[in-house]
Chains A and B, each alone.
Chain A
Amino acid sequence: AQRVTQPEKLLSVFKGAPVELKCNYSYSGSPELFWYVQYSRQRLQLLLRHISRESIKGFTADLNKGETSFHLKKPFAQEEDSAMYYCALMSNTGKLIFGQGTTLQVKP
């Protein structure tokens, strides 16, 4: 079965602290994984995808096939990082399978 799990509904950290948003997946083939972000009152937008191996706004994510994980990390959280984060898996037909989402709250 194709599934994405984000175990934390809410993650609250202080500004400057490291952040790790967890994502685990279940997929029989070679996965195509994404992180999407939704800032307050804005539309969902792509943050990063694993094949590009980019760092966007200081965030990185590494695909670990052994642990079937794609955790999102940032060494020093900023207040403007507060948002809803969704991990997603793309199926071979192009549809995205989303996790339940994690709200990141960065406190001053």
Chain B
Amino acid sequence: NAGVMQNPRHLVRRRGQEARLRCSPMKGHSHVYWYRQLPEEGLKFMVYLQKENIIDESGMPKERFSAEFPKEGPSILRIQQVVRGDSAAYFCASSPRGQTYEQYFGPGTRLTVT
């Protein structure tokens, strides 16, 4: 089992561009979580998705950010019109079921906005 995969590992975008971050969960995992780590801070929850459904998006900024986890393919975190403050490491985690099950983390995508 290859573990949770994220790509790209590093992404550079100019202000105003769009960023798309991909997360392929572990085989058999249908629950995906996205977290963001700003410089000098801990990881902050963004969104929790189960196949084709958003379960909890309480940590998502209200504008410019969206996430999906389609029936087929990876989960996508999309940031429109990026700003410098979006520069961070974005981590994805997956679990076979929700709630108390262990979450397995990917290596992260480091987004730099210039």
The answer to the question of B25 belonging to the interface, with a C-beta cut-off of 8 Å to chain A, is no
Chain A residues within 8 Å of chain B by Cβ, number? 22
The answer to the question of A93 belonging to the interface, with a C-beta cut-off of 8 Å to chain B, is yes
Residue in contact with A93 in the complex, picked from B35, B48, B102, CB distance below 8 Å: B48
Q: Would B105 and A43 count as touching, CB distance under 8 A?
A: yes
Mask of A22-51 contacts with B, CB within 8 angstroms, 1/0: 000000000010001000000111100101
Q: Would B103 and A43 count as touching, CB distance under 8 A?
A: no
* Neighbouring B residues of A96 by C-beta, 8 Å: 33, 35, 43, 45, 93, 103
The answer to the question of A64 belonging to the interface, with a C-beta cut-off of 8 Å to chain B, is no
* B contact residues, range: 20 to 34
The answer to the question of A98 belonging to the interface, with a C-beta cut-off of 8 Å to chain B, is yes
Considering the complex, give the chain A residue whose CB is closest to the CB of B56. A93
Given contacts A44-B105, A99-B42, contact A32 B48 (CB under 8 A): no
The answer to the question of B1 belonging to the interface, with a C-beta cut-off of 8 Å to chain A, is no
Considering the complex, give the chain A residue whose CB is closest to the CB of B34. A95
* Neighbouring A residues of B41 by C-beta, 8 Å: 100
- Smallest distance from the beta carbon of A98 to chain B beta carbons, Å? 4
Distance of A44 Cα from B103 Cα, bound (Å):
10
Distance of A18 Cα from B41 Cα, bound (Å):
26
Given contacts A93-B48, A93-B55, A96-B35, contact A46 B42 (CB under 8 A): no
- Smallest distance from the beta carbon of A34 to chain B beta carbons, Å? 8
Q: Would A98 and B99 count as touching, CB distance under 8 A?
A: no
* Neighbouring B residues of A108 by C-beta, 8 Å: none
The 8 closest A-B pairs by CB, nearest first: A44-B105, A100-B42, A98-B42, A95-B45, A94-B98, A94-B99, A98-B43, A93-B56
Given contacts A94-B55, A98-B43, 11 further A-B contacts (CB under 8 A): A6-B42, A44-B91, A45-B105, A49-B102, A86-B42, A90-B99, A93-B56, A93-B98, A93-B99, A95-B56, A99-B42
